[in-house]
Structure 1
Amino acid sequence: MHFFRTSTLALLLLSTLPAFAAADDELGDYVPETNPQVIRKLDQWQDWKFGFMMHWGAYSQKGLVESWSICSEDVDWCGPPKHNKFAAKYADDYVGYVKAYEQLPTTFNPVKFNPDAWAKIAKDAGTKYVVFTTKHHDGFAMFDTRQSDYKITAANVPFHTNPRANVTKAVFDAFRARGFGIGAYFSKADWHSDDYWWRRYATPNRYVNYDTRKYPERWQNFVKFTHAQIGELTSGAYGPIDVLWLDAGWVRKPRATDNKELTGIADFRPGPEDIDMPGLAALARKHQPGLIVVDRAVGGPYENYRTPEQKIPDQPLPYPWETCMTLGDSWSWVPHDKYKSARTVVQMLVDVVAKGGNYLLNVGPDGNGELPPEAVARLHQIGQWMRVNGEAIYASRAVAPYSAGKFRYTRLKDGTVYAIYLPADGETSLPSTVRIPGPAPAVGTDVKLLGDESSLDWRRDGDATVVDIPDATRQHLAGGYAWAFRLPGAAPAL
């Protein structure tokens, strides 16, 4: 197992983490970064802890799942959705549905798009960086690319006359103005490109649909096209970018197991899909020195951090990582989505951070360009908790024992440890006395609960810190999603 090496601080923190196998959607060894600029950026990214993601495109106007409905694999999330009004008439007509889907940009006119409002909402939620879908697998670019007419600024897209038609630039500028780190999601696959899904052949699955060894020039055209779009995004036209978040992990150099160990998703690859990641990363970093590159689910030197999707690892991971998760059930906007409670999100965030990860929370704007009101309400509630307890989250790192019963632990560089109590369902207030296993506060220091300035009586009993909590404090903090105890000097300063 390879370990992430950034600085003395990172080494000391990671040396305490147990070995843990990569999540099952992550392939290949983790290779530590050696570029000092990238290492510094990774350390800064780890300080941010809480990020905001948005899947948004022409599909949003019809409440369709992003891209996957035009993929013909026999899995639940592919094909025309059964309960969607737009897709219903194409239930038995895949070809007709794909044609209709590809025409969605001609009616896409999100006149209520206001990136400043998005950034304000994300800031209110306590998030520190944004990852925006500049282009998903369907190939529709949400930026003013010169490589294709399948883009938000094309003449046949009603929104192209809007002053904010170059959506990606408008989003990046608005979030950067509020101090956010900037991440560009970009799919390496492009199902609209004739050099990826060649119209001469059928498209049986997500992979390129022709033998790239038989038609190398066609594949090289696609590689050049992809590099050119990455060059555009990372150029100065879109301002400083911190993270290049690459999706479609199947677009990669071949492995010995390809076409041998089928996974149940029609996993047959007509030919290698080597996108030339060394050249792509070099091009992007020429424009953006220190850029974090996340070639997700691939492994190797261009997956600077890993991204378990819709799940939280059981234990800390020995490399930088980020759980990406939806606030609702869907990545993109769908009608009547079911959103997680603020309490659930806060407790997930605490669990992720205690294990040394970042938490990237996704909300899909609707077809008009607005964030759903129910999602906005949840984000505001999360932000209320973060404004009180953020010091236990931001710029923290994992510390043993990571978790113990209802407690999760984080630490700051000055040696302060936070023991965060996660109440059970129906538990609305803290007990009058708690036993906090593990790290001991420095002798003579004040133990406090974030959100209340009262110094609490505490004592050590064996390997636990016993804290007495007055009724007034318990009542003051009642109803919290989680409660954070500050334990000064419980770990060595670094």
Structure 2
Amino acid sequence: MSKKSLGLLLSALLFSFGLLAQNTLHPTSQAYEYPTEPEVLEKLEQWRDQKFGILIHWGIYAVPGIVESWSINNEDWIRRKDTTQSYTDYKKWYFGLKDQFNPQGFNPEQWADAAAKAGMKYVVFTTKHHDGFNMFDTQFTDYKITEGPFKNHPKADVAKYVFDAFRAKDMMIGAYYSKPDWHSQYFWWDYYATPDRNVNYDIRKNPWRWNQFKEFTYNQINEITTRYGGIDILWLDGGWVRPRSTVNEEVLSWGAPIPDFDQEINMPRIAEMARKNQEGILIVDRTVHGPFENYRTPEQGIPATMSADPWESCITLGGAWGYVPNDKFKPSRKVIQLLVEIVAKGGNLLLGVGPTADGQFLPEQIARLEEIGKWLEVNGEGIYNTRAIENFKDGKVYFTQGKQKEMYAILPLEEGEKLGETISWTVNAPSKGAKIQVLGEKGTLKWKTESGKTVVTLPKSLQQKLSNSPAIVLKYN
């Protein structure tokens, strides 16, 4: 492939299907099922207190800077601008990126430091995406970071050093793991073509091969949960790998083909093993609602309503999950306001940040994270350890509640918007004689509630001082 045609292809892959592959809100009418194990419930409440985490997609796709994995899928929604290269040749090129992936600048301490300064409290790191390239030293395939040009680096077992760096910042640790594996001969068997994201052979006619895949998956998750220290979250992606009986309107909305046989991997057995290895570990079998989806994970968007059940919006800082050249990163103001809305509606925000092929965050990414952290240093009390309430919003004002029933009213401000003399709302009125203060500021504010409307008066000095803030947080009882 010439440099020119490669460039055209990479641009097409980024813009024509990068967002389509990921932009799913996972709508569902199926009720959430709370875990029953006390240790899992305790871990779940701990996770709900954290509110803000980082999702790190990193793999061979960072070398050319394209969307992770999806370009080797052959479903008809994928468009490649370069029509001269066969699908077989493209897959060979993509899988061969392992021989170019040599991140000599790999710096997990930089990542963890940036995340901590942003006010993030947990990490989810991609141990393996759908393309099957392993970012840990698995013993069950040689398609891994420790078998390429990076193998002699002292931090070649990447997942270990990522988890260690974030543990050193006292963060909860999450391991992303893709259930489908498009490199494995037990999932995409070379004997047949690979027409879509599903297993490419009839499991009913080839039970041995599928059983081998189930054992492969079990063994890899066993490795992750025994060899890499304490793991708090097992974040399983690839929701089309599931029992056929669980296919619902949500799955059908993806528009992907549905085989007329099960693609189940025996989640009860995997969960039992994982929780034997890691007591109380949260299991997030994304979109497969039931006992192994301990919290919901709407993607690239926010649900319209509040939910008292645990959930997490996973949203990218830029336009892509992994590194792509010239990505456009969201302003810190936008991320802060997303966080406010998500927390007020009862969720956590998992922000996607992709390192470069060399293994570092870009200066622009670090700058955005630092700006977010500066706001949370002052206003985090209204975010962390809070819970949603029924009347979570009135007009532009969002509300959260602390564990001692203290209330927080949060007013987002757009760039250039002037802060007025008053902030008002008609729900969640302060109790008689309550004190209202702006987080980070001394003194209390004048307020009154008349005819159901609470009006808080801001002195001119505060109006001017806070006019550039992404959001103002008021605390009251």
Common fold: TM-score over 0.5 = yes
Equivalent of 2:132 in 139, 158, 169: 139
Report the TM-score when normalising by structure 2. Answer: 0.92
Give how far 1:31 is off.
1.6
| Matches of 2:248 and 2:421, distance apart in 1 | 58
User: Secondary structure of the equivalent of 2:245?
Assistant: coil
CA RMSD of aligned residues (A): 1.8
Match of 2:48 in 1: 46
| 1:203 corresponds to | 194
Q: Residue 372 of structure 1 aligns with which residue?
A: 362
1:395 maps to which of 385, 390, 394: 385
Matched residue, 1:96: 89
Sort the Cα spacing of 1:258 and 1:122 in 2 relative to 1 into closer, same or farther, 3 A.
closer
Q: How does 1:65-464 map to 2 (within 5 A)?
A: 65-75=67-77, 78=78, 80=80, 82=81, 92-154=85-147, 157-235=148-226, 237-255=227-245, 265-269=255-259, 271-424=261-414, 426-427=416-417, 429-464=418-453
Asked whether 1:482 is paired with 2:468, we answer: no
Amino acid at match of 2:213: F
1:465 deviates by: 1.9
Alpha-carbon distance in structure 1 between the residues aligned to 2:247 and 2:53: 34
Amino acid corresponding to residue 61 of structure 1 in structure 2: V
Deviation at 1:482, TM superposition (A): 0.5
Partners in 1 of 2:355 and 2:448 — Cα distance? 50
* 1:352-390 Cα distance to aligned partner (Å, 9 max, x none): 000000010001111010112212111111111111100
Cα distance, 1:26 vs. partner? Answer: 4.6
Deviation sequence 1:248-303 (CA, Å, 0-9, x none): 001011128689x9657451426321100000111111100100000001101100
Distance 1:101 1:241 in 2: 30
Task: Report the secondary structure of 2:275's partner residue.
Answer: helix
Letter in 2 for 1:114: N
Alignment size in residue pairs = 453
CA distance in 1, matches of 2:102, 2:456: 57
Please report how far the alpha carbon of residue 343 of structure 1 lies from its aligned counterpart in structure 2 after TM superposition. 0.8
Unaligned runs of 5+ in 1: 1-21, 83-87, 490-494
On the 8 A contact 2:246/2:288 being kept in 1, the answer is: no
Identity %: 49
State how far apart, in whole Å, the 2-side matches of 1:455 and 1:377 are.
Answer: 33
Residue in 2 that maps onto 1:85: none
**Residue 315 of structure 1: CA displacement?**
0.5
**Is the 2:244–2:260 Cα contact (8 Å) retained in structure 1?**
no
| Cα deviation, residue 442, structure 1 | 3.2
Alpha-carbon distance between aligned partners in 2 of 1:262 and 1:286, rounded to the nearest angstrom: 34
User: In 1, distance between residues paired with 2:33 and 2:347?
Assistant: 17
Q: Is the 8 A contact 1:346 1:382 kept in 2?
A: yes
Q: Is the 8 A contact 2:422 2:458 kept in 1?
A: yes
The question of 1:465 aligning with 2:458 is answered no
- Asked if 1:62 is matched to 2:51, the reply is no
C-alpha deviations, 1:13-62, integer Å up to 9, x for none? xxxxxxxxx95445844221100000000000000000111100011011
User: 8 Å contact 1:144–1:153 — kept in the other structure?
Assistant: yes
2:346 alignment partner, SS class: coil
8 A contact 1:73–1:79 mirrored in 2:
no
Secondary structure at 1:413 match in 2: coil
1:39 counterpart letter in structure 2: L
Residue 435 of structure 1, CA deviation: 1.3
TM-score, L = length of structure 1: 0.88
Partners of 2:319 and 2:360 in 1: CA distance: 18
How many Å separate the matches in 1 of 2:248 and 2:262? 9
Residues 453 and 297 (structure 1), Cα distance of their counterparts in 2 relative to 1, 3 Å cut: same
> Structure 1 pair 174/186, CA: closer, same or farther in 2 (3 Å)?
same
> Mean Cα displacement is larger for which, 312-321 or 417-426?
417-426
C-alpha deviation, 1:440, in angstroms: 2.5
Identify if the C-alpha distance between structure 1 residues 91 and 186 changes in structure 2 by more than 3 Å, giving closer, same or farther: farther
Would the aligned equivalents of 1:26 and 1:306 in 2 still touch at CA under 8 Å? Answer: no
Q: Structure 2 regions of 5+ residues with no counterpart?
A: 1-23
